[in-house]
Amino acid sequence: MNPDLQPFSTEKYVREHTPSFDDVIFTRRQLLLRSGMSLGALSLASVFGVNPFCPPGA
């Protein structure tokens, strides 16, 4: 092992962890897949009368 090399400075690491164009632009279907659970949790909270944006004790 070469102590001069940083563990995360390899070409493969940089290539795999750099945002690509596909990560920035996505379809409506992908948006719902990525945020579906959050939207469902907010909907369920509204059914039970919980406001997550209200400060505690208000």
Which parts of 1-58 fold into alpha helices (H)? Answer: 11-17, 21-24, 28-47
Q: Does the structure show a pLDDT above 80 at 29?
A: yes
Question: Measuring CA to CA, how many Å separate 47 from each of 31, 40, 44?
Answer: 23, 11, 5
Count CB-CB contacts under 10 A for residue 42. Answer: 14
pLDDT digits (tens, 9 = 90+) for 11-28: 888 777 787 777 777 888
Residue 38 phi, psi dihedral angles, 5° rounding: -65, -45
**Letter for the amino acid at 55?**
P
pTM above 0.75, yes or no: no
Residue 19 phi, psi dihedral angles, 5° rounding: -60, 135
